[in-house]
Amino acid sequence: MDKTLTLGESLRQSGVSRRGFLKFCTATASLMGLAPMMAPRIAAALEQARRPSVIWLSFQECTGCTESMTRSHAPTLEGLILNHISLDYHHTLQAASGDAAEHAREQAMQENHGNYVLVVDGSLPDENGAGYSTIAGISNLDMLRETAEGAAAIISVGTCAAYGGLPYAQPNPTGAIPVSEALPGRSIVNVPGCPPIPTVITGVLAHFLTFGGMPELDDLNRPMTFYGQSIHDRCYRRPFYDRGQFAETFDDEGARKGWCLYRLGCKGPMTYNACATIKWNQGTSWPVESGHGCLGCSEPEFWDVGGFYKALSAPTGDVSRAAAFGALAGAAVALGAGVAGKRKQAEAQEQHERVTVDDLGEK
């Protein structure tokens, strides 16, 4: 594809209608939490935007983040953006291999110095474990530092890049670290999730294209637009939680009636992500709608903290009120310490205290 084309020209050449483009801009404005009146401004900016050079580095990861991105059907937000950016280097998707692949990265860095977007998925072995993961004989750490030097923006895609993820889970044999730890002092946008919602990744890219910068971030450097509210706050099962109606097993009457999955281990109250609103697979469904609790995948250390099927509070008939509350508070604080900032810990603990009291009242 011709790299001199603007994004608008590129879209038109691919047969995207003006109507389709404006619809995309309106959806983008909505996703970014902007008023609909911003859609024309987004359209004008995107129309003129040069296709940005993107270098995508994949380190210790499972390729799930890339899989998530490529499982979209046109014409979607992710399809429109990803088909029309200049993805100059991507370990998994590029046709080139060996020297040619490394040459593509070096060329993209030279030609677009100071202007390209660096996307990273996967964590990196630390200095001591550099030999655990190398590409073209270059350690992940060296490749990241070299590529980040001339980047206009750095986006950590997925929980591994954002917080270390699965490679970072105990006992962390490679000494895995997140991108932020490898690049101290650099501004990095985290787009966590295992994997992240593709629309969220492209929403962040669209924001950069439109406004030339990154969106407002929370205390874990996640875009507020997508991570500003908990799964629990937007969950359609929330009325059942508030009424104290919980499924106790995955096949009981409560589960069949769509009651809250809290006692089956749902981490929705501690998890900040957009699954409940944007959903997955072109808005078809999301885990809680499919009958499975949230695992907390967009939060640090979700693999190690809590246990997937263990309720954050597990009051039982033979546990005293004080003991049950202590267990709950411990679980909430432990998870909260790992997964969110102080503000979110306070919110989460307040919610869990409420449900524990409700639960104990039933016993």
d(CA 168, CA 160): 8
288 interacts with ligand SF4 by CB under 6 A: yes
Q: Which is nearer to ligand SF4, 55 or 348 (CB)?
A: 348
Residues in contact with ligand SF4, shown as a per-residue x/- string from 237 to 266 under the rule CB under 6 A: xx--x------------------xxx---x
> In this chain, which of 268, 300, 315, 336 binds ligand SF4, going by CB under 6 A?
268
Distances (CA, A) of 305 to 290, 312, 331: 23, 10, 9
Instruction: Report the amino acid identity of residue 350.
Output: E
Q: How far is the CB of 229 from ligand SF4 (least distance, A)?
A: 11
Nearer to ligand SF4, 120 or 295 (CB): 295
Q: Which of residues 156-195 bind ligand SF4 (CB under 6 A)?
A: 193
d(CA 297, CA 164): 12
Choose the binding region for ligand SF4 from 5-13, 34-42, 103-111, 292-300 (rule: CB under 6 A).
292-300
Take residue 217 and report the two structure tokens written for it. 């971030």
Q: Is 143 in the site for ligand SF4 (CB under 6 A)?
A: no
Which residue bears the tokens 């954050």? 312
Number of H helices, E strands in the chain: 18, 9
Whether residue 217 contacts residue 189, with contact meaning beta carbons closer than 8 Å, is answered with: yes
Cβ 297 to ligand SF4 shortest distance, Å:
3
Our finding on whether 232 is near ligand SF4 (CB under 6 A) is yes
Q: What phi-psi label fits residue 252: left (phi over 0), alpha (psi between -120 and 50 degrees) or beta?
A: beta
By beta-carbon proximity to ligand SF4, the closer residue of 23 and 234 is 234
Specify the stretch interacting with ligand SF4 by CB under 6 A; choose among 51-59, 98-106, 142-150, 232-240.
Answer: 232-240
Sheet containing 53-58: which strands, arranged edge to edge?
86-90, 53-58, 116-121, 151-157, 189-191
Selected binder of ligand SF4 within 8, 198, 269, 315 (CB under 6 A)? 269
CB of 260 to ligand SF4, least distance (A): 3
**Of residues 175 and 258, the one with the C-beta less far from ligand SF4:** 258
Alpha helices in 112-190 (DSSP H): 140-148, 159-163, 165-168, 179-182
DSSP letter at 307 equals -
User: To the nearest whole angstrom, how small is the minimum distance from the Cβ of residue 349 to ligand SF4?
Assistant: 15
Binding-site size for ligand SF4 (CB under 6 A) equals: 25
Given the complex with ligand SF4, which of 34 and 339 has the nearer CB atom?
339
Taking CB positions, which residue lies at the least distance from ligand SF4? Answer: 268
CB of 355 closer than 8 Å to CB of 241: yes
191 membership: H or E segment, kind and range? strand 189-191
Helix runs in the chain, H state only: 7-13, 18-31, 39-48, 64-70, 77-82, 98-111, 140-148, 159-163, 165-168, 179-182, 198-211, 224-227, 231-234, 238-243, 253-256, 275-278, 321-339, 342-362
Among 287, 306, 315, 338, binds ligand SF4 (CB under 6 A): 287
Q: According to the binding rule CB under 6 A, does residue 122 interact with ligand SF4? A: no
Half-sphere exposure for 168 (CA within 13 Å, toward CB): 25
In angstroms, what is the minimal distance from the CB of 243 to ligand SF4? 11
The CB-of-58 to ligand SF4 minimum distance in angstroms stands at: 20
Q: Which residues bind ligand SF4 (CB under 6 A)?
A: 193, 231-232, 235, 237-238, 241, 260-262, 266, 268-269, 271, 273, 275, 286-288, 293-298
